Chain A
Amino acid sequence: MMEQLPALMIAVPLFGAFTTPLLKKRYNAAAVWALIITAATLGLSLLLVQEVLNKGILVYVFGANKPTLVLPSGYKVPIRIIFEIDGIGAFMALSATLMSFVGALYSYSHVKLETGLEKYYALMLLLEVGILGMVLTGDLFNLFVFLEIAGIAGSALVGFRNYRGEASEAGIKYLIVSAVASLMVLFSIGLLYGEYGNLNIAYLSRQISFNTVDMIALGLLFVSFAMKCGSVPMHYWVPDAYTEVPAGINPTLLVATYASLYALFRVSFSLFGAITWSMARVGWIMSVLGVLTMFIGVTMALIQKDVKRLMSYHAISQTGYMLLGVGVGLTVLNDPAKLAAFGRDAMAGGIFHIINHIIYKSLLLMTAGALFYVTGTRNLNEMGGLARKMPYTTVAFIVGAAAISGLPPFNGFASKFLIYETSYQLNPVFTVFAMVTSVLTLASFVKVFASAFLGPPLEKYEGVKEVPKPMVVAMLILAALCILFGLFPNVVLDKLVYPAVDALLKLAQYQSWGGLA
């Protein structure tokens, strides 16, 4: 079974997605089925991580044993679809499966009163398939196909509550933004295929000559994935989509956003990793976009009155930290002394922040979903005094808010600590912006806490009570992870994050399909 693991990672949720619509109008059964499928996929991803950590890069060739076809002349060329899973791919796959499982658990109660839930769960599993395909594949066209699957499933889920005009509008916006970005990704892939006659990332990265056409392809891939991961000033779709999507989908949609960030890193470090003269420029662009993203995101969050919209702007802001961390590493990629001194740790901070952010932002968006579930509004001006009525949600919110603000000993602090220290060594101005952003983040969550949870109990919420158990359990799982990742950052860094960083840095290993070439 182990050798089929990469294919099973796609096959299991895809099977779930195609079978869920058979449970039409049996919503409880559809929810339980989705829960079983996401749990099974989570188990598979844990095995996958173990395999990658033990054996190094995993290569899975569809329809053959070897990645290359050897021609009579001795020329070796990859012609089949190949999954190439290294540390960063396994890291992202684990994040995707964990969040899909938690999202399915939360959804069990959260969307119970909606209709068409067999479609909801089918689309949720399809979104998981899209993300997993993006992070596991070693083929550019395959990447595009899975990007499309994730984009279409994601936009249908954003517009799921189509009885709300805003949800339909947000769904259409997400669909068009995704389609434009995907179109440009396809155009770039076409440029590279036209030049080199191949679609395999490892093979292309060995052939690429960095001429003007290649640089145009790099630019288009960079800007398209930057828009898909919500980088400022191309972030406008994020608050629309995250606010309207049901809270149970928020964790998976967050990972879908970071699958695009993963693609951006894969393009920068693997596909174009051999380039020497331009990567410092790309690194500086990434770092500056990161600082702009974090600052504009947080200042926009501060003035929001809609609790989910406020948290969506924070999602943008936190993406800035990841861009900054990895951008610093990319800037010094071709300077071995600086890379060893702080570049590798900067990348570790950025990548560690991905999983930390996925955990605490999913938690916070779920608490926002819980507030909506109980009060029927997302307007903070209409809330107050809910801490006594919703003690578990309150505790979960406090943990999530402390984690996102970078308060020790929660997980957000550990990754921000690495980003502050390392970005300072590239340019202290970056660190100043990063720290001010953290202060403003804390201020923003103090506002949410004060207006929604504190204050005297309001008469209109006299009869409200805590959200149902599945929602509480999903939130508490994530709160526990925030604490555990914060108390034992070294364990996560050593087992998951540094292998992911090294996978991006060891280009020769990726280019040779882990030594199979």
Chain B
Amino acid sequence: MNFTLLSPSGFWDPVLWLIFLILFGIIGYIIYSRGNPSYKPNTEQVKPYLSGNAEPSKEKITVRAGDIYWGFIEAMNGYYDALKRMHTGDLRDYILWYLGIGAIILFILVGGV
């Protein structure tokens, strides 16, 4: 059985890719296993140093979903404002969009363009 996927301009062989992934995974593990031997988990060594301040609760230091990509969303504010205006949640708007797109497609198909 041939596992190579031929495309119009190239090929993709996932089995070969997987073999290389495993190979590089082994190399990575060897490098990792030769790491710093003085590291000891679950000791004072791994506690964060906060200049003497008390460590905040776990809830407070968790990065919330709303904070991730904040910069990207701020930069795209204009685009998102337009998108949010489109997404009204009003069923009448859903039907209006359908009618509008239907009219455009009919115009193209019946010979308008």
Q: Do A and B bind each other?
A: yes
A408 touches B17 (CB 8 A): yes
Distance of B42 from chain A, by nearest CB (Å): 14
Q: Give the chain A neighbours of B102 by CB distance below 8 A.
A: 184, 219-220, 223-224
Q: Give the chain A neighbours of B80 by CB distance below 8 A.
A: 299, 303
Restricting to A444-478, which residues have a CB under 8 Å from any CB of B?
A: 446-448, 450-452, 455-459
B interface SS class: helix
A281 touches B94 (CB 8 A): no
B109 touches A451 (CB 8 A): no
A414 touches B12 (CB 8 A): yes
Distance of B79 from chain A, by nearest CB (Å): 7
Q: Give the chain B neighbours of A489 by CB distance below 8 A.
A: 5, 12, 14
Q: Give the chain A neighbours of B3 by CB distance below 8 A.
A: 487-488, 490-491
Given A236-B93, A490-B2; A422-B8 close (CB under 8 Å): yes
CA of A342 to CA of B8, assembled, Å: 6
The count of residues in chain A whose C-beta lies closer than 8 Å to any C-beta of chain B is 69
A220 touches B106 (CB 8 A): yes
A285 touches B65 (CB 8 A): no
CA of A305 to CA of B10, assembled, Å: 39
Q: Give the chain A neighbours of B61 by CB distance below 8 A.
A: 456
- Is B59 part of the contact surface with A, judged by Cβ < 8 Å? yes
A381 touches B65 (CB 8 A): yes
Distance of A446 from chain B, by nearest CB (Å): 8
- Is A56 part of the contact surface with B, judged by Cβ < 8 Å? no
Q: Which of A219, A234, A421, A488 contacts B110 (CB 8 A)?
A: A219
B69 touches A302 (CB 8 A): yes
Q: Which of B10, B72, B87, B111 contacts A236 (CB 8 A)?
A: B87
CA of A425 to CA of B67, assembled, Å: 39
- Is A433 part of the contact surface with B, judged by Cβ < 8 Å? no
A490 touches B58 (CB 8 A): no
B97 touches A490 (CB 8 A): no
CA of A223 to CA of B95, assembled, Å: 12
- Is A296 part of the contact surface with B, judged by Cβ < 8 Å? yes
The total of interchain contacts (Cβ-Cβ below 8 angstroms) comes to 162
B108 touches A281 (CB 8 A): yes
A177 touches B105 (CB 8 A): no
Tell me the nearest residue of chain B to A493, going by C-beta: B5
B94 touches A234 (CB 8 A): yes
- Is A385 part of the contact surface with B, judged by Cβ < 8 Å? yes
Write the B47-82 contact mask toward A (1 if CB under 8 angstroms, else 0). Answer: 000000000011101111110110011001001100
- Is A380 part of the contact surface with B, judged by Cβ < 8 Å? yes
CA of A281 to CA of B109, assembled, Å: 8
Tell me the nearest residue of chain B to A460, going by C-beta: B59
B18 touches A490 (CB 8 A): no
Write the A221-252 contact mask toward B (1 if CB under 8 angstroms, else 0). Answer: 01110110000011011001000000000000
- Is A418 part of the contact surface with B, judged by Cβ < 8 Å? yes
CA of A255 to CA of B111, assembled, Å: 34
Restricting to A377-433, which residues have a CB under 8 Å from any CB of B?
A: 380-381, 383-385, 408-409, 413-414, 417-418, 421-422, 425
Distance of A96 from chain B, by nearest CB (Å): 25
Tell me the nearest residue of chain B to A491, going by C-beta: B1
CA of A212 to CA of B109, assembled, Å: 9
Q: Give the chain A neighbours of B31 by CB distance below 8 A.
A: none
Q: Give the chain A neighbours of B46 by CB distance below 8 A.
A: none
Tell me the nearest residue of chain A to B87, going by C-beta: A236
Q: Give the chain B neighbours of A184 by CB distance below 8 A.
A: 102
- Is B32 part of the contact surface with A, judged by Cβ < 8 Å? no
Tell me the nearest residue of chain A to B11, going by C-beta: A417
B106 touches A216 (CB 8 A): yes
Distance of A407 from chain B, by nearest CB (Å): 11
Distance of B13 from chain A, by nearest CB (Å): 9
A233 touches B109 (CB 8 A): no
- Is A300 part of the contact surface with B, judged by Cβ < 8 Å? yes
A236 touches B94 (CB 8 A): yes
Distance of B99 from chain A, by nearest CB (Å): 9
Distance of A260 from chain B, by nearest CB (Å): 13
Tell me the nearest residue of chain B to A222, going by C-beta: B105
A490 touches B5 (CB 8 A): yes
Distance of B61 from chain A, by nearest CB (Å): 7
Q: Give the chain B neighbours of A177 by CB distance below 8 A.
A: 91, 94-95, 98
- Is A481 part of the contact surface with B, judged by Cβ < 8 Å? no
CA of A18 to CA of B8, assembled, Å: 49
- Is A32 part of the contact surface with B, judged by Cβ < 8 Å? no
B113 touches A176 (CB 8 A): no
B12 touches A223 (CB 8 A): no
Distance of A430 from chain B, by nearest CB (Å): 15
Q: Which of A234, A237, A447 contacts B68 (CB 8 A)?
A: A447
Restricting to A252-293, which residues have a CB under 8 Å from any CB of B?
A: 278, 281-282, 285
Given A425-B8, A451-B63, A451-B64; A409-B14 close (CB under 8 Å): yes
A-B interface, 7 closest residue pairs, ranked by CB to CB distance from nearest: A380-B65, A451-B65, A409-B14, A456-B58, A219-B106, A223-B102, A447-B68
> Given A285-B105, A299-B80, A381-B65, 13 other A-B contacts at CB below 8 A?
A177-B94, A184-B102, A212-B111, A215-B109, A216-B110, A236-B89, A414-B12, A447-B69, A456-B58, A457-B58, A458-B62, A487-B15, A489-B5
Interchain residue pairs with CB less than 8 A apart (15): A177-B95, A227-B101, A237-B94, A305-B66, A421-B9, A446-B68, A455-B58, A456-B62, A458-B62, A459-B57, A486-B14, A488-B3, A490-B3, A490-B5, A491-B1
